[in-house]
Chains A and B, each alone.
Chain A
Amino acid sequence: MITQEENRSNLRDTKPYVVVKNLVTQFFTSKGIVKALDKVSFEIYPGEIYGLVGESGCGKSVTSTSIMDLIPDPPGRIISGEIYIDSFNILSDLKSLARINIKSETDVRIKRNKRANKRHNEIMSRIRGDKISMIFQEPFLALNPTMRIGEQIMESILLHNILSISEGIIRRNNISQVDLDKFIKNLNGEKDTLKRKKIINNFVSEYGIPEFEESISSLIENSTDDSYIKTEIINMIQENKKDIDLKFINEVKEYYTLQDQLFSLTLQEIQAERTGETALMNQKREEVKALRKYILNKFFILRMKLRFAEKHYMTPFRKEARRRAIELLSLVNIAGPEIVVDSYPHELSGGMQQRAMIAMALASNPKMLIADEPTTALDVTTQAQILEIIKDLNQLIGMGVLFITHDLAVIAEMCDRVGVMYAGNLVEETTTTEIFNDPKHPYTVGLMNSVPRADKKREREIKLDTIPGTVPNLITPPSGCRFHPRCKFAMDICSLKKPKLVEISPQHKVACFLYSDESEVD
């Protein structure tokens, strides 16, 4: 097992998966503009667990919701900034989405551009759940109460994986003698039972016939006649083939391939739009239009079938998706996934619901999971299990996690790196070990001291510190450093200028004038 330190130094060489740059998110309420996020910047590398910590109302959840671009509008909006997910800036068309006219704090007029918003939503719906997934604080509220668990997971699978599923079905149905020969040869060359088992396993999963795994292995054990085995396997698949209309599968595959093309064209259009190449942009726009029209015309009947009788026509896909849903449920340690897949959310316990949520989030193997206080609403024993699942997934499939919590103990247990937020600012960012051993920002110091720690000596003699005051009202946030009214070390400059997040030692960034004179320029 790699230690945290090593892990981190490895990460440094790779490209960050999520980059948040100068993110500003505001809420326009009748009482004034809530400046919920004020130029937040951080990066998350693939495979690391990044923790965001802070008091409630400091903007942790707003940050995560902004990354998913799920800020409820109205009242909220992302005002400016860049969010790169897998090197793609999801806010590249931010300017064209809406024109915001701020007449006064309480009178803000927002004019939304319908077309741009539609395009933006289309792009986002391909990124969400595919490249990045999210789980929420209260699983009971976050699951659709009138849909079966399996149905909800299948929805997610079918949204993003239809191409791979159709390929699987086609491959299975076109299984050739050559493939079978190769399989038998491999098998005969291997004597170790465990390895033989693995070969069979690989074979069935490659051809999407896991339901035959047992019968194939028993067949192989009971017979030595290769040609007999081959014909038997072909018979099995033939049996399964009967109710599959390959023409339809191919049509679906073609349809979704074209949809993917359309998507990449749209991205090119946005790229051109941003760089200001008008001619290219217009050309791409025309291409998008033409392709869209082509798809609409060519697949009219297919679209009608999917619109009105999806459940009937998509049966082969749904079978496959259901199998994967059950797999995912067992991956998150749910006992009896075949039963759970057909239950409604209210029939499960809180812990089970959160596991189902995680399974749903994993549906298309995203590289990144945002966990927004996933254990706050659960009881302590369940909490530990959920945390373990997330940690396991992180180590098993290298999934990055943005972990949001107010619980420092959870941070200590889970995270590789930690960002500390205060009143819409990221005030400190460093490794987990360093944040506990050497916190720099006065707010972080206060936060650490307000937690009882077993390793501190003379604990009974030291009174727990609390940070005086409360989180400020973000409609009229304090000038300069937003923490200065509560800070023991406040200087004159603190109320005048806003400190910049500066790297004061390797992997340790702090935004405080105690450590650096640099301030942010407006």
Chain B
Amino acid sequence: MELRYYIIRRLLILIPTLFGLILLTFILLRAVPTPDLISSFISQKATPKEKAIETAQAISFLGLNQPLPVQFFYYLNDIIHGNLGVMYTSFYTGPVMGGIERFLPYTLELSIATVILSIIIAIPLGTYIGARPNSPSDAIGRIFSLGIYAMPVFWLALLSQIIFGHDIGIFGSYGLPISGEGYPTTTKVPWIVNNVSEPTHMLLVDALLHGNLAIAYSAFIHMILPVGVLTLSILAGLLRFIRAGMVDTANQEFIKTARAKGVPEKLVLRKHVRKNALLPSVTVIGLLMAGLLGGVVVIEDVFDLRGMGRLTLATITGLNIQFYGVAGTVLFFGIILMLTNLIVDVVYAFLDPRIRY
């Protein structure tokens, strides 16, 4: 099919950007003074002589004594082999890649739930508002969007805790959990303990697949507030976009044609305006994903959840900054976003007959 060539072409375009991204992380790493870069590899209690030996070992181990282009070549080689370096923090110690593997599922769970929820809310709401520009409901929608847009995510999260939080909120002990406390840990989940199948690594989905409703419920109520806040934070942009799309499409010439054919108003909206207005909204998802991945960092910090966001923050909040961790997470988030945009473009090309691939 032609679509296959389009995907291949888009992948080829991705290569220079990916190369640039790797180069950027390499520059970031090498901009750090060598003593700081290797500080994690040197034990604090060592004597100066031992320190000198450890430094020399670390430098040769990391290849820092090579010329820069050679270093970059090594770095590139490492990344191709999935080696992003190691990090030593109280939150997680080990290879950066291993940390990503371990903490990504939770973040993915949050992000997917957020994307699904926000689409479920935004499409009906946005089309409803967009079909009635300048009406009271439009005004309410606009004020809501602006209000949410203007709120810092962390404050919104804290506010939701003040209102709904367990013990500290208005609902007292009936409130929702505000931290990872009580979240089923690895030692309590039977299929993790017994090392049986763990198809998605996402607790909620796995629990449902295993039919363990107690764990599923616990995972679910721990997700309500974070997902709710994340959804709100991206909803404003999505609503604005869909509304604008509806208003723009309603003013198009072919809508006049539809009316001239005698299509009743309701059908004009349903069959002609909505589809054409929603198509470009697919492209926003890429943009939203960028905001979402940033928001996840904040949300995981506020709600004390163990995901990629916390891993990212852990790299810079310890005693020694874990530069390989910083570079690794930047690279990882960049690749995730690039792939999202690629998928979005392909889906859009698939949906919109006007795009020639």
Contacts and interface: CB of A to CB of B under 8 A. Distances in A.
A136 interface: yes
B2 interface: no
Contacts of B262: 124-130, 156, 159-160
Interface string B268-302: 00011001100100000000000000000000000
A70 B253 contact: no
A62 interface: no
Nearest to B353: A344
A159 B257 CA distance: 14
Given A125-B265, A136-B253, A146 B279 contact: yes
Contact of A143 (B254, B265, B271): B254
Nearest to A126: B262
Interface in A80-135: 121-122, 124-130, 133-134
A108 B275 CA distance: 34
B353 A70 contact: no
Contacts, number: 76
Contacts of A127: 262
B264 A122 contact: yes
A254 to B, nearest CB: 20
B257 A144 contact: yes
Q: Is the interface of B mostly helix, strand, loop or mixed?
A: helix
A363 B261 CA distance: 9
A346 interface: yes
A503 interface: no
A70 B260 CA distance: 8
Contact of A121 (B258, B264, B276): B264
B352 interface: yes
B89 to A, nearest CB: 51
Nearest to A310: B271
Contacts of B251: 72
B259 A155 contact: no
A145 B257 contact: no
Contact of A346 (B253, B254, B276, B353): B353
Interface in A41-73: 68, 70, 72
A211 B257 CA distance: 31
Interface residues of B, number: 22
Nearest to A121: B265
Contacts of B257: 134, 136, 142-144, 357, 360
A141 interface: yes
B354 interface: yes
B252 interface: yes
A138 interface: yes
Contacts of B276: 144-146
Contact of A159 (B252, B263, B352): B263
B10 interface: no
Contact of B354 (A124, A133, A136, A344): A344
A295 to B, nearest CB: 15
A496 to B, nearest CB: 39
B348 to A, nearest CB: 12
Given A141-B252, A346-B353, A146 B263 contact: no
A129 B260 contact: yes
Given A143-B254, A146-B354, A134 B260 contact: yes
B256 A142 contact: yes
Contacts of B256: 70, 136, 142
Interface in B233-266: 251-254, 256-265
B254 A144 contact: yes
Contacts of B252: 141
A462 B286 CA distance: 65
A430 to B, nearest CB: 29
Interface in B159-187: none
The CB with the most chain A CB atoms within 10 A, among B257, B263, B354, is that of B257
Contacts of B253: 136, 138, 141-142
Nearest to B352: A146
Interface string A472-500: 00000000000000000000000000000
A301 B354 CA distance: 36
A340 B263 CA distance: 22
Contacts of A141: 252-254
The CB with the most chain A CB atoms within 10 A, among B253, B261, B264, is that of B261
A360 B265 contact: no
A467 B260 CA distance: 35
A90 B271 CA distance: 26
A146 B271 CA distance: 10
Interface string A149-174: 00000011001100000000000000
A363 B352 CA distance: 27
Contacts of A138: 253
Interface string A337-348: 000000010100
B354 A128 contact: no
A44 B65 CA distance: 92
Contacts of B260: 68, 70, 128-129, 133-134
Nearest to B272: A144
A156 B268 CA distance: 12
A125 B272 contact: no
Contacts of A128: 259-262
B253 to A, nearest CB: 4
A130 B263 CA distance: 11
Contacts of A142: 253-254, 256-257
B152 to A, nearest CB: 36
A155 B353 contact: no
Nearest to A122: B264
18 contacts: A125-B262, A128-B260, A129-B261, A129-B263, A136-B253, A136-B256, A136-B257, A142-B253, A143-B254, A145-B276, A146-B275, A146-B276, A146-B352, A147-B272, A155-B271, A159-B261, A160-B262, A360-B257
The 4 A-B residue pairs with the shortest CB-CB distance, nearest first, are: A129-B262, A141-B253, A128-B262, A129-B261
Interface of B: 251-254, 256-265, 271-272, 275-276, 279, 352-354
Given A129-B261, A147-B272, A360-B257, 14 more contacts: A68-B259, A68-B260, A121-B264, A125-B263, A136-B257, A138-B253, A144-B257, A145-B354, A155-B271, A156-B261, A159-B261, A160-B262, A346-B354, A360-B261
Interface of A: 68, 70, 72, 121-122, 124-130, 133-134, 136, 138, 141-147, 155-156, 159-160, 344, 346, 357, 360, 363
